Amino acid sequence: MKQITLRVLFIGICVLGFVACNIVNSSSLDSSEENHLIANIPEASGISYCNNTDTLIVVSDEGSFYEINSKGKILDTHELGDYDFEGVVCEDNKLMLAVEGEGLLQVDRDTLDTKFFELKGDGYKITNKHGIEGLTKIKKRYYLSIQAKNEEDSKLLVVKLDGDCAEVKRVIDHGIIDSSGLTYENKKLYIVSDTNDALYIYNIKTKEIEQEIELPEFAQEGVAFDKDNNIFFADDNGAVLRYKIKDLDI
């Protein structure tokens, strides 16, 4: 009887611990943001929408990626190794993941086979204070955001995959400090700034910021849109948030 009682007590402690962990994950959000919380994912650092499966891929600083549905249910989890992922692009058959300070990691969605592309080129610098923090794709080129605390070093790198290299073909100076995530939608770039708690709509052709949208205060690390007029944010404190586009006046 005593063994059964102790076992029940142990299970109860574990359950309470699990609940406490989830409370901690959302403790950085105020009450209005908790209403938009759909998933708890440790150190969520990037997010991308998959058109062919109507799901989202969320990457973590800890070398993992998660596939979730639009309601936040975790459908699958994969650990790829000792990587610091900071951005992701979901394509029909593959994922492209940004590895901070190094380059791009291609992952086959079916087999999980990987291929690494080392970042090479001129016109930029990668340091501990100027790392890769966001990733999107336009046509056949990948766009990487360089996170910097000053406007001069705040850049986008346009890269082309060539052999084993991600070769920088063009550098865009946009002046948005702490650009921690980006995506491409409706022929515009959407760039989040963690420091400014803002979402910027950037016109590539005119090289101008068309709109600055104030965001609630959380650790913005990624942004994505789905087909149902939802916008999702990866929160580095361990959360995925979902809003309706109209909620943010986009």
> What is the per-residue pLDDT for 153?
85
Q: Mean pLDDT by 10-residue block, N- to C-terminus, for the chain (250 residues)?
A: 39 39 45 82 97 98 96 97 96 97 95 97 76 94 92 92 96 93 96 95 94 93 96 96 92
CA-CA distance, 10 to 7, in Å (whole number)?
5
Residue 119 in tokens: 């970042």
Q: What is the pTM of this model?
A: 0.86
Rg of the chain on CA atoms, in Å = 19
Asked if 50 and 224 touch (Cβ cutoff 8 Å), the reply is no
Q: Sort 32 into a burial class: Cβ within 10 Å, 0-12 / 13-18 / 19+.
A: exposed
> What is the per-residue pLDDT for 41?
96
Residue 148: C-alpha distances to residues 38, 103, 105, 127, 156 (Å): 29, 17, 22, 10, 11
> What is the per-residue pLDDT for 25?
46
> What is the per-residue pLDDT for 120?
94
Residue 162 in tokens: 């060539």
Taking the domains of the chain in order of start, what are their residue ranges?
A: 36-248
List CB contacts of 97: < 8 A, sequence separation 6 or more.
46, 59, 65, 80, 83, 85, 87, 88, 104, 105, 106, 107, 135
CA-CA distance, 4 to 10, in Å (whole number)?
10
> What is the per-residue pLDDT for 24?
36
**36-248, what's its fold?**
Methylamine Dehydrogenase; Chain H (2.130.10)
Residue with tokens 């070398």: 63
Q: Sort 93 into a burial class: Cβ within 10 Å, 0-12 / 13-18 / 19+.
A: exposed
Count of C-beta atoms within a 10 Å radius of residue 148: 21
Q: What is the dihedral of CA 114, 120, 125, 126, to 10 degrees?
A: 20
